[in-house]
Amino acid sequence: MCVNLQIDPVRAIIELFTALSEPLRYLRNPKPRLALLTDAMSQIKSKREDYNDKIHTAELAGQTSTHQIMDWLNKVAAVDSKVAKIQTDFLQQRSCRWCINRRVAKSLATIKDLIDAASKIDHVATKLAPKGVQEVSDVPPASVNKTTYLSQLQVYIQDDECRIIGIWGMGGVGKTTLLQSLNNELLSSAEADHSPQQFDHVIWAVASKDYRQGKLQRDIARRLGLPLRKDRVRQAKEIFDFLKNKNFLLLLDDLWQPVDFAAIGIPQSLRYAAAGGNATKHKVVFTTRLEGVCGQMQARRKIKLECLNVEDAWRLFQEKVGEETLRAHARIPQLARRVAKECDGLPLALVVIGTAMSTKKTPKEWQNAITLLQKSRPYEIHGMDDKILPKLKFSYDNLADDTIRECFLLCSLWPEDFSISKTDLIECWMGHGLVGEGKLENINEAYDSGHALIGGLKAACLLESGDDGEREVKMHDVVRDLAVWIASDCGEKHNRFIVQTGEVGAEYAQSEVERISLVESDLSDTSGLQNNCSKLETLMLQWNFSFRSICTGFCDRALALTYLDLSHNTVKDLPPEIGRLGNLRYLNVSDTQIRSLPWQIGCLSELRFLLLRSLDSVVIPSGVITKLVKLSVIDMTDTWCESWLELSELRGCLKGVGLVLEVVEDLKQLARLSNVPTWRLGIRKLVGLAEPLQLLSPLQLGSRSIRSSIQSLKIEFCESLELVTMEGDRGIGSSSSWCLPRLEVVELYLLPKLKEIVWRGVIPADSLPSLTVLKIYNCRKLTNISWVLRLPSLEVLTMAFCDEMQEVIDEDQGGDAEENGVTNETFPSLKNLCLINLRSLRMFSGGSCTFPSLEVLTVRGCPEMKKLPFGAEMADKRLKEIWGDRAWWDALQMENEARAALQPRFKRREPR
């Protein structure tokens, strides 16, 4: 058999050439391929910079980079290094053409893969896992015998057989304070490097009387840094899986009913790491007013907090009354003992009434106090001795006038344990006609009055500092119960005030209700109120993310409504019927999805306050504003509105205006309007800017209507702004004529070309006497802010992402103290200094600075900053914390004495 094999020589040659063509191409000149590689590398670097910017923004919001993005960035860095090596080898002729071309081809393929991978990256950052132990404020009053109880509690925690511990006692006896002290002691132990940790996680949560299982579950998930789920079963499993193999301590405050730990996801059974290993610690400590809850919770150990004995109570009462008052008359100590005895040893009552009596320096005032306390009518609130509220009411009765008493009662409209913004509280008082009703020049005077009222309530121990220090306040649980009791005519009218959170029950829709607060609830609309709102005067629905609409017919039945707060929810529009609310004085739709107002808003003839903050933009029909003849405040902070000029047609009633302007000509027009008292001003984009922004020019912020009233100034997204000048008239002779006396907050954001803020003919300390907060972000060309050195009121200074800043204070521009007629002391009021991602920052200042009030210094992402702006002397001042990463701290150049003195203040915050 014969097989005929025919081979086409031409085809064979072509196939052979094709097989060899790719390697042969590697012998060509590499320059074209290198050009392609350089271009591809440039594209991937741009993508990297975009991601880095997003990461930086996320870090400012307290988030951390995902593993996916960090892996991608590491791969980009690796290929960047390889490309640089290829380019160097080519230029220095270290490799042959074939090798260079082959390496270029591989790098191009890698870059293509990275570009493909980038398109699949969903998120660059995620929430940062919280610390194992987080600080909670140690709120007074602290009972004299707290140390004894704390020691007993620690013994129980060390007992491996004791998994659940109950702390119980009457309201105001110090249960929460004891739990807070335990938390903060564990925090101190966790922050000490040499101390072994008892628990991986210490979880603080509050149950409160309006306990909802879902809310408690979400609070615990937040504390653990877990994602929040709508599905409670899934949420419980994630909490359980996270905690089951860890040592944890759950601190649960203010329990009124048993908690189903399994439903929430809290593991309770002991787990062993291995045969013979140590069991994981799963422990719970809770507080309650009810002994029965301890039994229902199967507490292995119980601690009952008793009221103070006579002598301990007297010592606490003396401390609050004060030695000066006790010595004011020979009879007062004897009478004071009788008042203290009436308090029955309750720490809260001793503190509140003792403080109220601290200014009473005659025997008759003390005798009157005894009479009032003895004659108060007893009333029982569940879980509280029936004598407490009538006695606490004495402090309420002792307030200066009916205005501050009514202000106190309105504080109870916020949920239990809610940290209330002072601004929100004051605006609530304004909306109810309690503050700002007199002859005021501008809205700042009303806020001053509101802050004075808050100070009076804090001085009387009826309010206390909130979670955010001086910006928020809280009501103690028992004090809030007192306010609700008084507002309900001492229990006679139970449904005058209705306050609910979470899942809303049917009891809020009562026919006699006058004030309803459903803050942080899940109400979807007003349908439940339709037939029971004829007496309703106040409706608070803020922070209610389920709320969608005001139902048809509601406005026809709620004709008595004077105060409506819809802020921070998802409502998209206001119904036309809103114009029928003829008594409405206060309307707040800030931070909602509303983008236009109905023309019927113009029918609200009694409207005094219209708050439209953070809407981005809003459309107000032409002619509506001019119909609001009693409008006192309209605040469109962070909201652009084209029809803002209509405000000039309102004569004499406006006290405060918040605006956003985007065109230079609009800023000039505003300056020419004498009857628009600008209170909060946002300047965006600055279309038409052809010269430096002169903030003290009569054509800009120097006009009297702005100068005398502006409280907050934000300049952002002005891409062409290179220079800001503060320039006065040298011929006037005194820079005090060129002053912004009320300006408290200045924020500069994303001004990429801003190089300098120049002062001519004016002294910063004279021009900005009230500036309290200065925040500067992403002003990459800005080189220093030396002018802040001696601002008398500056408390918070934050600088971030200013790439070219080498010194915050330039010694040559800081000004001579003696020449300017001021003392050598710098930063007299600065409490919080924050320096973030200032990559070129070498030092804070070339000269010496003093920080007499500094409490917290935060430094992150400042690798070139090798020296602190102060030395060992700060250990004897108010400095509490220095935040930074360990590598930065260890690399700081400082004397051994300074390091030893400041080391206890250092708190690690590792880079993310």
Q: Where are the domains of the chain?
A: 13-127, 146-270+279-304, 399-491
Higher pLDDT, residue 5 or 235: 235
345: left (phi over 0), alpha (psi -120 to 50) or beta: left
Higher pLDDT, residue 523 or 510: 523
Write down the pLDDT at residue 521. 85
Residues 285 and 179: beta-carbon distance below 8 Å: yes
pLDDT above 70 for 533:
yes
φ/ψ (deg, to 5) at 107: -65, -40
Higher pLDDT, residue 122 or 584: 584
Question: Which residue bears the tokens 């004299």?
Answer: 144
Write down the pLDDT at residue 134. 60
pLDDT above 70 for 648:
yes
Higher pLDDT, residue 599 or 396: 599
The terminus-to-terminus CA distance of the chain in angstroms comes to 78
* Mean confidence (pLDDT) of the chain: 82
DSSP state of 394: H
- The DSSP bridge partners found for residue 53 are none
Closest to 620 (Cα-Cα) out of 649, 651, 641, 600: 641
| 391 CB-contact burial (10 Å; exposed 0-12 / middle 13-18 / buried 19+) | buried
pLDDT tens profile 582-620: 999 999 999 999 999 999 999 999 999 999 999 988 999
- At 478, is the pLDDT very low, low, confident or very high (cuts 50, 70, 90)? confident
Write down the pLDDT at residue 598. 94
Radius of gyration of the chain (CA): 33
Residues 207 and 216: beta-carbon distance below 8 Å: yes
Write down the pLDDT at residue 47. 84
For residue 557, give every residue at least 6 positions away whose Cβ sits within 8 Å of its Cβ, in sequence order, or none: 529, 530, 531, 533, 534
Residues 276 and 101: beta-carbon distance below 8 Å: no
Which range has the worst mean pLDDT, 298-312, 378-392, 660-674, 880-894? 378-392
pLDDT above 70 for 11:
no
- At 102, is the pLDDT very low, low, confident or very high (cuts 50, 70, 90)? confident
pLDDT above 80 for 381:
no
Write down the pLDDT at residue 253. 92
pLDDT above 50 for 276:
no
Closest to 853 (Cα-Cα) out of 839, 868, 836, 874: 874
Write down the pLDDT at residue 169. 80
- At 278, is the pLDDT very low, low, confident or very high (cuts 50, 70, 90)? low
For residue 483, give every residue at least 6 positions away whose Cβ sits within 8 Å of its Cβ, in sequence order, or none: 396, 408, 409, 411, 412, 475
Write down the pLDDT at residue 14. 43
Alpha-carbon torsion, ordered 861, 862, 864, 867, to 10 deg: -130
Write down the pLDDT at residue 376. 42
What CA–CA distances, in Å, run from 496 to 533, 538, 622?
12, 11, 39
Question: Which whole number is the average pLDDT over 72-78?
Answer: 87
Question: Which residue bears the tokens 């330039």?
Answer: 810
Pull the structure tokens for residue 388: 């407490």
Question: Which whole number is the average pLDDT over 360-389?
Answer: 65
Write down the pLDDT at residue 136. 62
- Which CATH topology does 146-270+279-304 take? Rossmann fold (3.40.50)
Write down the pLDDT at residue 252. 93
Write down the pLDDT at residue 337. 93
- At 423, is the pLDDT very low, low, confident or very high (cuts 50, 70, 90)? very high
DSSP secondary structure string, 576-614?
A: GGGGG-TT--EEE-TTSS--B--GGGGG-TT--EEE-TT
pLDDT above 70 for 762:
yes
Write down the pLDDT at residue 329. 92
Write down the pLDDT at residue 743. 93
Q: What percent of the chain has pLDDT over 70?
A: 85
Question: Which whole number is the average pLDDT over 449-472?
Answer: 86
CATH architecture, domain defined by 399-491: Orthogonal Bundle (1.10)
CA angle 195, 199, 202 (to 5 degrees): 115
Question: Which whole number is the average pLDDT over 400-410?
Answer: 93
pLDDT tens profile 487-518: 887 766 667 888 877 776 655 566 678 898 98
Write down the pLDDT at residue 510. 63
- At 378, is the pLDDT very low, low, confident or very high (cuts 50, 70, 90)? very low
Write down the pLDDT at residue 837. 94
pTM above 0.85, yes or no: no
Q: What percent of the chain has pLDDT over 90?
A: 35
Give the 3-state secondary structure of residue 356: helix
Cα within 13 Å of Cα(373), Cβ side? 25
CA angle 451, 454, 456 (to 5 degrees): 115
pLDDT above 50 for 448:
yes
